[in-house]
Amino acid sequence: MDFFLVLLSYFIGNVSFAYLLTKFKMKEDIRNFGSGNAGTTNVLRVLGKKYAALVLLGDVVKGAVPILLANALAGMDVTVMLCGLAVIAGHNWPALMGFRGGKGIATSIGVFLVYDPYVALVCLGLGILLIALTRYVSLGSISGMALLPIVTYLFYGVNLRLAFALIIAVFSIYRHRSNIIRLMSGNENKLGQKKI
């Protein structure tokens, strides 16, 4: 049962709302436009706010569903964590899409909002604040994810929760490595700015 739940979680992660909505609207692959990323920010640039909001909501729900299922059917914290990691991995590296997915921020938010809403809300709040102040979505996303293991440690100390949070942070920061380079060189696009 546990293995099935983890595998199911991975393939739930493969459902790309950015890809599906762009196919529906434009008959095109979102990964051929803008940043090439199958995620909310790229959909915002390519299709606008309405479709970006749908992608954001879909990806958050997608992250939440495996945690809810694992809590209901398995109950073991290790299984819940593995399902969380699997759905994020499925979003970031989807086998059904040639392993070219998104960056996992919204899906990670969905995972942690169900797994630990207090920690999630602290990190989400910082991320949103940074985006509002700087208009760099990537900076807010990276900072919020970097804060995840720190806040988890402050709440719970050293345990499996910390390892879970750390792996999620590493997933997200790794997927944003090109954004980090652009931020450091001053070439990152701000919210509302068209892709250069």
Q: What is the pLDDT of residues 68-78, one digit of tens each?
A: 999 999 878 89
Half-sphere CA count of 58, side-chain side, radius 13 A: 22
- The verdict on residue 194 lying in a domain is no
Number of domains in the chain: 1
Q: What is the pLDDT of residues 15-65, one digit of tens each?
A: 999 999 999 999 999 999 988 889 999 999 899 999 999 999 999 999 999
Does residue 163 sit in helix, strand or coil? helix
- The verdict on residue 75 lying in a domain is yes
Q: How far apart are the first and last CA of the chain?
A: 47
Residue with token string 């709302």: 17
- The verdict on residue 193 lying in a domain is no
The DSSP result for 7-30, as a single string, is: HHHHHHHT--HHHHHHHHHHSS-G
The pTM of this model reads 0.93
The boundaries of the domain holding residue 97 are 2-185
Q: Distance from CA of residue 49 to its chain's centroid?
A: 18
Under 8 Å CB-to-CB from 175, ≥6 apart: which residues?
92, 102, 103, 104
Tokens coding 131: 């985006």
- Residue 165, pLDDT above cutoff 80: yes
- The verdict on residue 190 lying in a domain is no
- Residue 1, pLDDT above cutoff 90: no
- The verdict on residue 29 lying in a domain is yes
Identify the sign of the CA torsion 10, 11, 16, 17: negative
Confidence of residue 196 (pLDDT cuts 50, 70, 90): very low
Tokens coding 1: 């049962």
- The verdict on residue 191 lying in a domain is no
Q: What is the pLDDT of residues 86-127, one digit of tens each?
A: 999 999 999 999 999 999 999 999 999 999 999 999 999 999
Region for residue 158 given its phi and psi (left: phi exceeds 0; alpha: psi -120 to 50; beta: otherwise): beta
- The verdict on residue 136 lying in a domain is yes
